Structure 1
């Protein structure tokens, strides 16, 4: 590889934050040529919402444009202008939701992060991939910045612009490598699957995501934890601040464990801290009172179809454990041979589910159908179904495999 270059920009970047400037940028991008590099910056960890606070777009023949979504609002015209073009994104699944929120919904994508995985590149962050394939060092010092900040510092804008300006060159290099490795069709199926993937359904009990919740042993403690989590979530949404920045999970858990009997006792609880722990004390005390008084007590464990972790299978379902280990070893060997990570060769949960409850009759066709029903792509079924079926047949089978789905 050629000696590394350090990619920098001396151009002053103007943020597009008026309707007039947005329409002019749309016309310029429509007149450009080739695929379109796209990226979005959110304020994860700082704000409640996952909205885009900056959208960067680059196209050859047009240049780079940095859009400020809140003042622009809807991006209908830009989406119409670029609807038939290929959009290049890195880790598209992370940005598609916030792009669609403002009306940017590509029909065709090239995902450079996914392509890097399929090409067997060991480090798939944008900076690492650009350095590996283009020989350019791309600084990533602002990746965790609070992009809701206004005005945005010039150094941040330069960083944001470079994220998209290299995407067309990176895409072109990857296209050649995908052809050389006979993975073009695999990549196309993966990109299409990313575009068509439905958003995850909302959790029935989102409060159960509270870190450390498993340490609470009674339903009453859980009820208080639930009310505190719901109160924090509502407040965080109203003020658009990340919940953990208001009151950390550990503080909510401490209050739920202690069950303070008075407002003062809550105030005196040393573990109950955070920027909103004292100035919103009435809010938290009211939540504790609701939790202490409710008759709607939550179950100690959530009811779901989550499989036990594989480490517990030897005791819970030994036949499934043997099937799983045999099939996983076969897939790992294939992964090494084709230089595609195991998790991209086949979604790990799909293998676990067919190993836990194998289809009948047990053959490549039935395994392939089971994988397809779970969401596996055609290429994944083609290369894994026979291997899995063979591995299952080679291990002892039982007539009535266990079906315990407790988490």
Structure 2
């Protein structure tokens, strides 16, 4: 659907349906600020592909997605729900997520390609998994459009299979809770986090001056990415940032010798990068040696890293008490055994974060477990007595 009349005709058809299969395609791998480029909707007998780049106003689609009397079936819905809200202000109600249903049921595979192959004998073309859906040359190639169509074509049938099994195995309470939680997913416009360099694998292995270099390079890369509207990883890789931070080259030749920095990249960014390399370890240093000395005098130590806020159940120093830790270990052992018996992954029973919260709060009754949303109602009903028994045995 890339014209107003076609879009209107589609809406007229969809308003008579009680269930919609929905998916989205974005261009996050190719631009700095991603956007939804395609919305796929399938109903029995029809697959619609909505070109959201070609249409100026999609607002009339919103009431359909928000209608509580119309089932919306997604696969891995958190991302889709969040970007639909971010780009169009849409909300989604009455949601069913086939990925989460697969996990709750303990099916062996959860990816859409694996599920389509197992239940319908359909093979998705992996060639288009990383396709650029935001190219301005339209229409998109027919095989690429067919790939997008298959993302929703079988979802309603898959939902029926999973719904029956959820009922047969009494797992609907957990599924409903998860699906409602997914509808609250929200996407915000991308904001640069200047402390994000702490999350790069390998930052701990750098010396203190190297971490100062990495911090400045990380910010420099983001400015380049914004100016060129490209994802940061397509400007300079994290591996190259680490190499620059560790080796701290003194000249153009040294810059090109860093793994991940091509001659083209060095020629394109070399002058600015070299200037920054002088500036990184110490803003007022002159030359690389002075900058290195400055970094030694004013290091960015590992203990200066930004840490996530500790939960209210932790001790002031951020470490759980010995009693809390003992309860956590006992609860984790119980959780792992319960997950194995249930045939699911451990986090489907209870996440580690939830176990820590329970362990440190030390509840004594079901009311304590439900207090302040510590556990969901289905979790209290399903596991409450077992959790309390483990806590009593550990105390």
TM-score bracket relative to the smaller structure: 0.7 to 0.9
Does structure 1 retain, via aligned residues, the 8 Å contact 2:76–2:99? yes
Deviations along 1:288-338, one digit per CA (max 9) or x if unpaired, are: 34323338965524232478xxxxxxx996654432232122122322333
Does structure 2 retain, via aligned residues, the 8 Å contact 1:58–1:65? yes
Deviation at 1:108, TM superposition (A): 2.1
Among 70, 87, 90, the alignment partner of 1:102 is 87
Matched, 1:382 2:388: no
Please give the alpha-carbon distance, in whole angstroms, between the structure 2 residues aligned to 1:171 and 1:335. Answer: 23
Please give the alpha-carbon distance, in whole angstroms, between the structure 2 residues aligned to 1:75 and 1:287. Answer: 45
Count of residues in Structure 1 that have an aligned counterpart in Structure 2: 365
In angstroms, what is the RMSD of aligned CA positions?
A: 3.0
Among 49, 58, 61, the alignment partner of 2:33 is 49
Alignment match, 2:177: 189
CA separation of 1:41/1:23 partners in 2, compared to 1, >3 Å: closer, same or farther?
A: same
Runs of 5+ unmatched residues, structure 1: 1-15, 308-314, 398-407
Deviations along 1:354-402, one digit per CA (max 9) or x if unpaired, are: 43xx2256554434437x24xx43212333343333223323x5xxxxx
Alignment match, 2:390: 391
CA separation of 1:181/1:17 partners in 2, compared to 1, >3 Å: closer, same or farther?
A: same
Alignment match, 1:60: 44
SS of the aligned residue for 1:67 comes to strand
SS of the aligned residue for 2:227 comes to helix
Matched, 1:128 2:114: yes
CA separation of 1:45/1:317 partners in 2, compared to 1, >3 Å: closer, same or farther?
A: farther
Among 323, 333, 338, the alignment partner of 1:334 is 338
CA separation of 1:320/1:68 partners in 2, compared to 1, >3 Å: closer, same or farther?
A: same
Describe how 1:310-389 pairs up with structure 2 within 5 A.
319-355=323-359, 358-360=360-362, 362-369=364-371, 372-373=373-374, 376-389=375-388
Select the structure that is richer in helix: 2
Runs of 5+ unmatched residues, structure 2: 285-297, 311-318
Among 244, 255, 269, the alignment partner of 2:244 is 255
CA separation of 1:384/1:92 partners in 2, compared to 1, >3 Å: closer, same or farther?
A: same
Please give the alpha-carbon distance, in whole angstroms, between the structure 1 residues aligned to 2:265 and 2:388. Answer: 55
Q: Which runs of 4+ in 1 moved over 6 A?
A: none
Please give the alpha-carbon distance, in whole angstroms, between the structure 2 residues aligned to 1:204 and 1:327. Answer: 37
Please give the alpha-carbon distance, in whole angstroms, between the structure 2 residues aligned to 1:109 and 1:361. Answer: 33
Deviations along 1:70-109, one digit per CA (max 9) or x if unpaired, are: 2324421111244312211001012222222332321221
Deviations along 1:193-238, one digit per CA (max 9) or x if unpaired, are: 11124569975722222231111121x3222211111111222233
Deviation at 1:65, TM superposition (A): 1.5
Does structure 2 retain, via aligned residues, the 8 Å contact 1:35–1:88? yes
